[in-house]
């Protein structure tokens, strides 16, 4: 056995692990990075990147049938599904060098292409190497969860790890799960010419503002996606294709995509040998992202047992670098972490939803709104479906929900405000170019101050006095 001594050993080369590796190595720490599968992890190879690439293909196909409103004749798209998948593969290949073994070795990271597992509180084994480190970072991410539904073993079950390799367009795609992954793939595939049915045991897009989720789901239904809510998949059978049985219904299609959630990758790490407390949600960590039972071990991203977003893993990496490399105190928070669902229209959230804010802040809460229909850029581009809703407490935003074009971009405004404890006045004071969608955010701030300025009897009395005494 070869023995390696290092400062930081990272298990997993996804977003979180790579970010820790590059930060630590560039600051002078000795870093060993273990990855037994693909560099870049789920996001690059099976998640964020390929899904957005396929969504872009679907958006282009859909746009061909929307020209008449601009004075351009509509055209029926001719979709080459295999070529769309070539586009997906090309996007992955274009981004892959940034996450490659060669790049990280060039930065001074020792990359070992083996899975790692703990053999003691201070050692990890990867293949025929034993790594001793001052600090370990578990950055193993998550994979698709496939529930134990009767009959699944009789059909081909696609997940996000296989759907992007499919070269033949599904005639009728059945999607079990109405979360963001299922809904994004539903719209992409219906726009590329598939018939699509989404089967959701409870409520589709349940984690987002229900008023805004309804706008997205209505759009999907208008485009031809069948969304069946409150229908638990109880059994699956092979019928020349695949049939999902939901108690009182049988839905038959040609292909099945499972999109019911994620399972954290902690099996095989032998965390017990390192004295690292964990459960099915991941490693049990404190706000400092250290294991509650072994302070040498950190966990980031999905492995830390909380929200499951690529950008959260990157944020966690910064916390770990500050703590493990610089020895400075650092704690993670989640109130400023945004997320987005990349449907058309997009759906985005940061901080508290309206329901959460009302429950937490009661009478101290003010909810302000601004509609896309009041934005001149949206009117010019005929993208007027949408709304922003901002939850404000004592002059500061505590949450924002956006549905509409580029919502994933616009939510960054409010993530910045919440992260830096800005007041609504900071938003109102900002001068923005006209006409832009970003003015929707400023209009929401105006909606907060408007009643205080224009409907206040006190303000009107003061103005009359000022006007009387002005020379």
Residue 224 assigned as binding residue: no
In the structure encoding, which two tokens stand for residue 4, read together? 């390696």
Residue 302 assigned as binding residue: yes
Residue 261 assigned as binding residue: yes
How many CB atoms neighbour CB 206 within 10 A?
12
Q: How many residues does the chain have?
A: 471
Q: How far apart are CA 303 and CA 247, in angstroms?
A: 35
Going by their DSSP bridges, the two strands 195-199 and 226-228 should be labelled as parallel
In the structure encoding, which two tokens stand for residue 310, read together? 């690529």
Residue 179 assigned as binding residue: yes
Residue 177 assigned as binding residue: yes
**Cβ contacts of 122 within 8 Å, gap of 6 or more:** 132, 133, 296
Q: Are 199 and 182 in contact (CB under 8 A)?
A: no
**In 3D, which of 227, 224, 190 has the Cα closest to residue 205?**
227
C-alpha pair distances (Å), 347 with each of 222, 292, 307, 311, 411: 17, 35, 17, 16, 9
Q: How far apart are CA 381 and CA 442, in angstroms?
A: 19
Residue 267 assigned as binding residue: no
Phi, psi of 328 (to 5 degrees): -100, 150
Residue 140 assigned as binding residue: yes
Residue whose tokens read 């703590």: 323
Residue whose tokens read 């302070």: 295
Q: How far apart are CA 71 and CA 62, in angstroms?
A: 16
Residue whose tokens read 């985005």: 348
Residue 200 assigned as binding residue: yes
Residue 183 assigned as binding residue: yes
Instruction: Determine whether 470 is exposed, middle or buried from the number of CB atoms within 10 Å of its CB (0-12, 13-18, 19+).
Output: exposed
Residue 455 assigned as binding residue: no
Q: Which residues are annotated as a binding site?
A: 52, 116, 140-142, 177-184, 200, 261, 302
Q: Which residues are annotated as a binding site for NAD(+)?
A: 177-184, 200, 261
Q: Which residues are annotated as a binding site for FAD?
A: 52, 116, 140-142, 302
């Amino acid at each position: 056995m070869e023995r390696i001594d290092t400062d930081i050993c990272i298990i997993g080369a996804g977003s979180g692990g790579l970010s820790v590796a590059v930060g630590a190595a560039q600051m002078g720490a000795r870093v060993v990075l273990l990855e037994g599968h693909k560099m870049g992890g789920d996001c690059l190879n099976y998640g964020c990147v390929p899904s957005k690439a396929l969504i872009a293909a679907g958006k282009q196909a859909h746009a061909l049938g929307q020209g008449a409103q601009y004075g351009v004749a509509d055209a029926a798209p001719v979709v080459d599904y295999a070529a769309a998948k070539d586009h997906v593969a090309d996007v992955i290949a274009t981004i892959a060098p940034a996450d490659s073994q060669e790049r990280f070795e060039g930065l001074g990271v020792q990359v070992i292409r083996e899975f790692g597992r703990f053999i003691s509180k201070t050692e990890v084994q990867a293949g025929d190497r034993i790594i001793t480190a001052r600090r370990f970072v578990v950055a193993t991410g998550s994979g698709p969860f496939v529930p134990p539904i009767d009959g699944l073993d009789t059909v081909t079950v696609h997940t996000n790890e296989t759907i992007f390799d499919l070269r033949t367009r599904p005639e009728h795609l059945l999607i079990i799960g109405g979360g963001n992954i299922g809904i994004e793939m539903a719209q992409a595939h219906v726009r590329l010419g598939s018939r699509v049915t989404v089967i959701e045991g409870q409520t589709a897009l349940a984690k987002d503002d229900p008023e805004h989720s309804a706008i997205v789901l209505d759009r999907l239904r208008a485009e031809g996606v069948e969304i069946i809510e409150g229908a638990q998949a109880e059994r699956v059978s092979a019928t020349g294709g695949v049939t999902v049985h939901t108690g009182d219904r049988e839905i038959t299609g040609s292909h099945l995509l499972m999109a019911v959630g994620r399972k954290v990758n902690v099996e095989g790490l032998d965390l017990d040998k390192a004295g690292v407390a964990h459960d099915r949600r991941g490693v049990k960590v404190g706000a400092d992202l250290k294991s509650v039972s072994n302070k040498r071990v950190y966990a980031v991203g999905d492995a830390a047992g909380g929200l499951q977003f690529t950008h959260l893993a990157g944020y966690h990496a910064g916390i770990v670098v500050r703590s493990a490399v610089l020895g400075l105190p650092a704690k993670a928070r989640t109130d400023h972490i945004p997320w987005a669902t990349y449907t058309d229209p997009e759906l985005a959230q940061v901080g508290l939803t309206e329901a959460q804010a009302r429950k937490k802040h009661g009478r101290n809460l003010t909810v302000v709104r601004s509609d896309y229909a009041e934005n001149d850029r949206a009117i010019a581009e005929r993208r007027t479906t949408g709304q922003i809703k901002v939850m404000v407490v004592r002059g500061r935003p505590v949450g924002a929900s956006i549905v509409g074009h580029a919502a994933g971009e616009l939510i960054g405004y409010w993530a910045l405000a919440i992260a830096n404890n800005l007041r609504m006045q900071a938003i109102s004071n900002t001068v923005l170019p006209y006409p832009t969608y970003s003015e929707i955010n400023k209009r929401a701030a105006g909606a907060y101050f408007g009643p205080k300025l224009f409907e206040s009897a006190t303000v009107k009395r003061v103005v009359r006095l000022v006007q009387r005494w002005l020379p």
